[in-house]
Structure 1
Amino acid sequence: MLLANRVNNLFDEMFNDPFFSSPTWFDHSQMMKTDVQEKDGNYLIDMELPGYAKEDIQAELKDGYLTVTANHNETKDEKDEEGNYVRRERYSGSCKRSFYVGNQVKQEDIQAAFKDGILRLAVPKEITGIEEKTNYIAIE
């Protein structure tokens, strides 16, 4: 009976952990909260990525879309005095957001910095110095 109570208490305690009870566990709207503001001819994009390291984050520019991807892997091991596992949890997750920034924006036009869990991207609102070419279609 005593062993059964300890096992039940262990599982009750484990599932009361914020990992399981947090609304972010199932609510993806809490991930990558983003603020966009216009300032000095740029769009400033601030993305909240708490718990992520700079190495976990990737920004890609392709076909006029700026895509930010964040991947995170975490392992929590708890052992007793004899080295036996009391609790062992693993978490792996990723999130992704895309923004259309236009086909004229190039990689070197975008500035990015990550500090204190916030990714800041500066994307130019308008690209100057690019001449528009007229592409004619050959008619046969």
Structure 2
Amino acid sequence: MLMPSIFGESLLDDWMDFPFDDEFFTRRSPLYGKHGKNIMKTDVRETNDAYELDIDLPGFKKENITAELKDGYLTITANKGLDKDEKDKEGKYIRQERYSGTCARTFYVGDGVTQEDIHAKFEDGILKLSVPKKDAKAVEQKKYISIEG
């Protein structure tokens, strides 16, 4: 079936998802819709003493990105809005693909990692994080008491 399209996507993409698209059954951000899977793509690299994360955040500004460590979970949050000048332009949009809003991603890094241990740098739309490896707390082994008889 031929559907009208503009810029290589069907104008009815979001409407036609049900029930054919597996993504229908996964949680989607209402803000980013079906394209939410393309937000915050992450590469995780393991070195001898750390984990290096590279998170794609194109179009975001450094001041709109936060990294929070709580209970062993590192949460990266990024938000952006459209420029105020965009609203003042004449004419009407026939297609708008840029969004404003917030996205977040959480990683478990362990209870032994502190805020001071994590190093972050943002350049060229990529957030680079270095999270040191910490020794996991030793799991208490069962110790049996010998019973004399």
TM-score bracket, shorter-length normalisation: 0.5 to 0.7
Question: What secondary structure, in the 3-state scheme, does the structure 2 residue paired with 1:29 have?
Answer: helix
Question: What secondary structure, in the 3-state scheme, does the structure 2 residue paired with 1:94 have?
Answer: strand
Q: 1:113 aligned to 2:121?
A: yes
Higher percent of residues as strand:
1
Partner of 2:38: 30
Question: What secondary structure, in the 3-state scheme, does the structure 1 residue paired with 2:82 have?
Answer: strand
**Of 49, 57, 66, which residue of structure 1 is paired with 2:57?**
49
Question: What secondary structure, in the 3-state scheme, does the structure 2 residue paired with 1:86 have?
Answer: coil
Partner of 2:18: none
**Following the alignment from structure 2 to structure 1, what is the Cα–Cα distance between the partners of residues 47 and 40?**
21
Partner of 2:91: 86
Number of matched pairs:
111
**Following the alignment from structure 1 to structure 2, what is the Cα–Cα distance between the partners of residues 117 and 64?**
26
Percent identity at matched positions? Answer: 47
Instruction: Give the 5 Å matches for 1:1-140.
Output: 16=6, 26-75=34-83, 76-77=86-87, 79=89, 85-87=90-92, 91-126=99-134
**Following the alignment from structure 1 to structure 2, what is the Cα–Cα distance between the partners of residues 110 and 52?**
21
CA contact under 8 A between 1:77 and 1:87: conserved in structure 2? Answer: no
Gaps of 5+ in 2: 15-31, 141-149
Q: Which amino acid aligns with 1:105?
A: V
CA contact under 8 A between 1:68 and 1:97: conserved in structure 2? Answer: yes
Q: Which amino acid aligns with 1:44?
A: E
Do the aligned partners of residues 25 and 51 (structure 1) sit closer, same or farther apart at CA in structure 2, a change above 3 Å counting? farther
1:93: how far off?
A: 1.6
RMSD: 3.3
TM-score when normalising by structure 1: 0.66
Question: What secondary structure, in the 3-state scheme, does the structure 2 residue paired with 1:26 have?
Answer: helix
**Following the alignment from structure 1 to structure 2, what is the Cα–Cα distance between the partners of residues 87 and 40?**
54
Higher percent of residues as helix:
1
Question: What secondary structure, in the 3-state scheme, does the structure 2 residue paired with 1:74 have?
Answer: coil
